[in-house]
Structure 1
């Protein structure tokens, strides 16, 4: 099997995909921007060949790279990055070279929030009503129908980038000026008191869920960015049955195969959920590592097994919580890395400086810490986020 990994070097924790694919007997071919010497021995030894391009955004240049690898190694069986930024490039390449997996037309339902909403309804999963906004007339009409506050997001896009909370007429006026009708937006009512959570997992070549998980954020991402708040999220030991039911319906309706998925929900105060977004890839950052720590598995190896026609192997170790938590350089905390290790010992599974691309959103210093109970989760979050008390100046 010939497998082309797009951007095998970044993010660094995804290099394990190349390593485990090679271990499963796959010929792993890389296409990326970094010089070969920068890859390091671990990744170099996992790749049969690496083709460096000047710019992965230049699809013609990347197509020439794939064509060269096709000519040298024969038909390509898979092209994948597992990275949101390159999903469209992956699909375009698959279409060009007739490779298994999602093609460009398949991505419409996972790139446009308005299309996602249609499929959530088809899956009989609760949603809040939304409106497509192309003009200022659409904007004011939608706000009159939905009322304030609303969340305004680009219809095509992911994450909290270019997202606004509109709570007042002044917010609407400012948004209108910054937006300038430059792109299509999607408006939906702001969910008061909702807890942001997920239903995540992996489907096999038949579309069956072989791994599932869920995590909960301490604060919604929009508030996190705007307020530069302390960040934590928790991989759950067990998935709430209602969330699991909704998540499975959505996965079946979207019909993806041999892929990771990451579905965002708000949990309401009444215990129900509303679906927000379907992401046709892994959750970002170090989340896959947290899954591994929480469930004592290796999803990199499991993915390689599925791709090569093997089975997903369940762990026989009891699940744990895993807390992903950060500290920001801008704040003075009561406990540093040494104190965190002293307090939690070998439950600290991982600590790492965050890449600049994630630091503004999530923080600068990342820790992954296992816990057995909700009480231990609360203890970890309080300990890591406890700040030094400011001494008032005497006048």
Structure 2
């Protein structure tokens, strides 16, 4: 089997995809921008061949790279990056070379928030009313139909970027003034819940969920982005039954196969409201945090699925796992040395955030485990407590 990995070097923790795929006897072929000499030695050993391109944004150049690898190694069976930024590139390459996985047409249901909403409704999962606007002249009518407060975000966009909260008419006027109409916007009713959770996991080649977990954000990502606060979430021991039921229905409705998913929900009293379906794992070090929480190696388990060897569940009990960041320029109540000493038994990893994520999420990243949610919340508060508190 020939597996083409787009950007195998970055992000660094995703190098483990190449390593685990190679361990399963799969021929791993990398395409990236970094010079071969820059690659870490374990990655070099995992790659049968690495083709350097000048610009991964140049579709024609990347197509030529895949064509060369096809010519030299035979038919390509998979093309993946597992990275939000390259999902459209992955799909375009699958179109060109007729490779298993979501094609460009299929990707529209996970790219456009308006289409996601339709699939959530198909799955009979709660959603909030929303409407697409493509021109400024359509905004007033949408606001009148939906009513304030609203959230306005690009219909085709990633995360909380370029998002507006429309509480008053003045906010609407600011949005209209700022918006250049180059991209359609999706307006939806604002949900007052300050709790966002997820249903995350992995499906096999038949679309069956073989692994599922859930994380709870300390605050909605949009708030973290706006306030530049420390990025924090924790993995729960088990997925709450109603959330699991909704998540299963959504996964079935979207019909994706042999890939990770990351579905966000508002936790609204005793119910959940679907927000967004992401056709890849959660970003940064989330896969590593899942691994710590559930004593599993998901990079390996994904590789086993691709190789046709089946998924092996963990034999160990799950724990709560806290993922928390701190920013270099902030002064905290406890020094890092004090934190590392105080939680030496709970600490699983201390990492530096990649530059692409640090500005939004923080600089230092800590992962800690515990058997109780109470301990997790106490550690969260202590690690992020500022010096003046």
TM-score range, shorter chain: over 0.9
CA drift at 1:175 = 1.0
Name 2:299's counterpart in structure 1: 300
- What TM-score do the two structures reach when normalised by structure 1? 0.97
Q: Where in structure 1 do 4 or more consecutive aligned residues deviate above 4 Å? A: none
Aligned mates of 1:14, 1:178 — CA distance in 2 = 37
CA drift at 1:242 = 0.6
Residue 322 of structure 1 contacts residue 369 of structure 1 at CA under 8 Å; is this kept in 2?
A: yes
Aligned mates of 1:339, 1:238 — CA distance in 2 = 31
Aligned mates of 1:344, 1:329 — CA distance in 2 = 20
- Once the two structures are superposed, the pairs formed by residues 188-337 of structure 1 within 5 Å of their partners are 188-269=188-269, 271-337=270-336
Residue 261 of structure 2 contacts residue 278 of structure 2 at CA under 8 Å; is this kept in 1?
A: yes
- Once the two structures are superposed, the pairs formed by residues 64-83 of structure 1 within 5 Å of their partners are 64-83=64-83
Residue 326 of structure 1 contacts residue 365 of structure 1 at CA under 8 Å; is this kept in 2?
A: yes
Aligned mates of 2:86, 2:289 — CA distance in 1 = 23
Name 1:389's counterpart in structure 2: 388
List runs of 5+ in structure 2 lacking aligned partners. none
CA drift at 1:218 = 0.4
CA drift at 1:131 = 0.5
1:162 alignment partner, SS class: coil
Aligned mates of 1:168, 1:181 — CA distance in 2 = 21
Name 1:393's counterpart in structure 2: none
Aligned mates of 2:19, 2:238 — CA distance in 1 = 30
Residue 296 of structure 1 contacts residue 315 of structure 1 at CA under 8 Å; is this kept in 2?
A: yes
Structure 1 residues 143-194: Cα deviation after superposition (integer angstroms, max 9, x where no partner):
1111211100100112011111111222111111111222100000110024
Aligned mates of 2:256, 2:64 — CA distance in 1 = 28
Residue 207 of structure 1 contacts residue 255 of structure 1 at CA under 8 Å; is this kept in 2?
A: yes
1:127 alignment partner, SS class: coil
Aligned length: 389
List runs of 5+ in structure 1 lacking aligned partners. 391-395
RMSD: 1.0
Aligned mates of 1:72, 1:186 — CA distance in 2 = 45
- Once the two structures are superposed, the pairs formed by residues 1-395 of structure 1 within 5 Å of their partners are 1-269=1-269, 271-389=270-388
Residue 194 of structure 2 contacts residue 219 of structure 2 at CA under 8 Å; is this kept in 1?
A: no
Residue 235 of structure 2 contacts residue 322 of structure 2 at CA under 8 Å; is this kept in 1?
A: yes
Residue 199 of structure 2 contacts residue 263 of structure 2 at CA under 8 Å; is this kept in 1?
A: yes
Q: Please say which of residues 22-31 and 159-168 is displaced more in the overlay.
A: 159-168
Aligned mates of 1:260, 1:40 — CA distance in 2 = 25
Aligned mates of 1:170, 1:365 — CA distance in 2 = 38
1:345 alignment partner, SS class: coil
Structure 1 residues 32-87: Cα deviation after superposition (integer angstroms, max 9, x where no partner):
00011111212111111100000000000000000110111011111100011111
Aligned mates of 2:329, 2:344 — CA distance in 1 = 26
CA drift at 1:336 = 2.7
Aligned mates of 1:33, 1:339 — CA distance in 2 = 40
Aligned mates of 2:8, 2:335 — CA distance in 1 = 32
CA drift at 1:204 = 0.3
Structure 1 residues 270-289: Cα deviation after superposition (integer angstroms, max 9, x where no partner):
x1011011111010010000
Aligned mates of 2:144, 2:206 — CA distance in 1 = 44
Aligned mates of 1:346, 1:27 — CA distance in 2 = 39
Aligned mates of 1:179, 1:350 — CA distance in 2 = 42
